[in-house]
Amino acid sequence: MNIKHAMLGFLSWQPFSGYELKKIFASSIAFYWSGNNNQIYRTLVEMHRDGLVDVEVRQRENYPAKKVYAITDTGRSELRKWILSDPELPQLRNSFLIQLAWADGLEAPELDTLLAKYEQEVGVQLMMYREQERRKLINPSRTAREAFLWKMISANWERYYENEIEWVRSLRLGLAEIPA
Amino acid sequence: MNIKHAMLGFLSWQPFSGYELKKIFASSIAFYWSGNNNQIYRTLVEMHRDGLVDVEVRQRENYPAKKVYAITDTGRSELRKWILSDPELPQLRNSFLIQLAWADGLEAPELDTLLAKYEQEVGVQLMMYREQERRKLINPSRTAREAFLWKMISANWERYYENEIEWVRSLRLGLAEIPA
DNA sequence: GTTGCCATGTAAGGTGTTACATGATTTA
DNA sequence: TAAATCATGTAACACCTTACATGGCAAC
């Protein structure tokens, strides 16, 4: 999985410029890339070279020129092929768990402070996610099914954060009961 | 977060050679690096250069020499510093969610097949995780608290997989109710 | 008049992956 | 005799990140 297929997905929705794609990525936690120029502009050039997208350069008065990319039939079939390919396992990298693995050297208050920070950070992230969902730039709902899929994708993220908060709470309660 | 602190963690438990660390990583889903040579041996050299570990070369008959790395006081204080540093947010990269985002172009049976595959793959992963936990190479439990922490770290992973399976099941049920 | 938006792009580096290379010994 | 284990290391490259570079216009 790389950013290419995610970009193709957005372009299957409607044509976009690199700048617009960048904003979409940057504004979305679920589409988790940082939305940096380097990758997006390079990937667009590569996709054009491979015939997955067409470019139209729009010259505008008083504004910089804009390169608008539209998906081609080749691009659509590549996207469909990828969508039908075997799902990869999610890759979860929670460095906090690794911190915890060696945290028995800490004093009880130090450890609890750490856990409280984690709980708070995840809580903030959950709120940010909800806020972002409220005002998100694109939300395809051309069919009832598409709307449902997007709702469930969003639910997946919310569940993850909620689950994480529950977990850290039970961890803190459990630790409080262990004698020093 | 990089592999360095995870390696320091293991070395704070007991001295290991690169080869042993590699096996530990390769056999652990929770310590999620692939356990490849390149990184491990290079990182050991770097950590040695930075005074975080000492090396002892053990020559043995009929076997290749072994470089056993032991954590130094500098290493321990670096580890402690990292453990007390602000937790990073978990980074979750589920490319399947991105596949789903554009999956409304699929026929209902194609989509359900995809979801079934995901459900099955996550199920397999959960079983593999449990099996791995049963026979894991290291399981520090020098104190009741340390044992509890490791149990909760493991529980975190199990919860994630279980949650994911529940989610995909409810997604499949929901889709079954949407008219074509 | 400084900040932010529009819009494109480049440079450099971090972190991780797979595959290659060597060579002896043990196990099937 | 073929494969796996022990043990170290290198090469090449995939993917992503932060920061830099340019330049006009709008808003405050």
Nearest CA in chain B to A102: B9
Residue B141 has what pLDDT? 86
Taking residue A156's Cβ as centre, other Cβ atoms within 10 Å add up to 21
CA dist A46 and B72 (Å) reads 48
Q: Which nucleotide is nearest to B1 (CA to C1')?
A: C15
Q: Which nucleotide is nearest to B36 (CA to C1')?
A: C17
CA dist B67 and B64 (Å) reads 10
Contact A123, A165 (CB under 8 A): yes
Is A95 close to B79, i.e. CB distance below 8 A?
A: no
pLDDT in tens, A53-97: 999 999 887 788 899 999 999 999 999 999 999 999 999 999 999
**H runs (alpha helix) in B55-94:** 73-84
pLDDT in tens, B88-143: 999 999 999 999 999 999 999 999 999 999 999 999 999 999 998 888 777 888 99
pLDDT in tens, A146-162: 999 999 999 999 999 99
- Does the pTM surpass 0.85? The reply is yes
CA dist A69 and A79 (Å) reads 15
- For A43-64, b/e burial (b = at least 16 CB within 10 A) is bbeebbeeebbeeeeeeeeeee
Is B95 close to A87, i.e. CB distance below 8 A?
A: yes
Give the distance, in angstroms, between residue A171 CA and nucleotide D28 C1': 49
> For the domain with range A3-84, which CATH number is right: 1.10.760.10, 1.20.120.530, 1.10.10.10, 3.40.220.10?
1.10.10.10
